[in-house]
């Protein structure tokens, strides 16, 4: 189900998209969607979310920016995979167990950058379905960055590579 979409299919096919796998913290999801709106990145939400999309914390974090981002909602990972396969788009998973540093990875127009649940990441089958697995290196004594921070860093790097940031 599409909440908002640009009319030009060529723009859609080449747009970087951030996919939120079963997001469970509404404030983080709203923050990531606000970043997508501001940076011209599409978004996909893979259900079930750990909160109603109408949740006040989600809406407060996204503010009125949610009306300015193309959001695709998928009722399951299988539905997302069908959509992705039909579009022929590459899935890049941002994971703490990734093999490639995000700054050394070569992003391509049309890539779908996926982040997992704040509480649990993604399951093994989702991990295996990714075309690439990237990591943001952090100090070894710590577990992970906040998912919204990590998403913003990876989006920024992709857009830098595309020449779309100052």
> What's the pLDDT at 88?
94
Q: Residue 160's CB: how many other CB atoms inside 10 A?
A: 13
Q: Assign 11 a pLDDT band (cuts: 50, 70, 90).
A: low
CA distances from 92 to 43, 61, 135, 147 (A): 14, 25, 10, 15
Residue in the structure block whose two tokens are 């991990």 = 127
**pLDDT tens per residue, range 104-129:** 999 999 999 999 999 899 999 999 99
Q: Is pLDDT above 50 for 166?
A: no
Reply yes or no on whether the pLDDT at 63 is more than 80: no
Query: Is the pLDDT confidence value at 8 over 60?
Result: no
User: What is the C-alpha separation between 110 and 112, in angstroms, rounded?
Assistant: 6
Domain count, the chain: 1
pTM for this structure? 0.88
Burial of 143 (0-12, 13-18, 19+ CB in 10 A): exposed
CA 101 – CA 105 distance, rounded (Å): 6
Per-residue pLDDT band at 61 (split at 50, 70, 90): low
More confident site: 81 or 64: 81
**Contact at 8 Å (CB) between 36 and 115?**
no
Name the least confident of 35-49, 52-66, 75-89: 52-66
pLDDT score recorded for residue 50: 85
How many angstroms separate the CA atoms of 38 and 85, rounded? 27
Provide the pLDDT for residue 115: 98
pLDDT confidence band for 2 (50 / 70 / 90): very low
Domain limits for position 129: 2-162
Looking at residue 70, the DSSP 8-state letter turns out to be -
The CATH number assigned to the domain holding 84 equals: 3.40.1280.10
* pLDDT tens track for 26-49: 889 989 999 999 999 999 999 998
């Amino acid at each position: 189900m599409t909440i908002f979409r640009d009319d030009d299919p060529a723009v859609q096919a080449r747009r970087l998209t951030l996919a939120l796998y079963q997001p469970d913290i509404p404030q983080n999801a709203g923050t990531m969607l606000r970043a997508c709106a501001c940076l011209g990145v599409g978004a996909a939400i893979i259900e079930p979310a750990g909160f109603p999309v109408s949740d006040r914390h989600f809406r407060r974090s996204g503010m009125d920016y949610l009306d300015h981002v193309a959001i695709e909602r998928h009722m399951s990972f299988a539905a997302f995979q069908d959509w992705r396969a039909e579009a022929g788009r590459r899935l890049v998973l941002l994971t703490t167990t990734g093999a490639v540093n995000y700054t050394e990875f070569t992003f391509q127009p049309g890539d779908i950058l996926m982040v997992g649940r704040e509480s649990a990441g993604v399951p093994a089958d989702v991990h295996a379905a990714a075309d690439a697995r990237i990591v943001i290196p952090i100090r070894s004594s710590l577990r992970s960055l906040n998912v919204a921070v990590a998403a913003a860093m990876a989006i920024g790097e992709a857009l830098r590579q595309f020449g779309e940031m100052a």
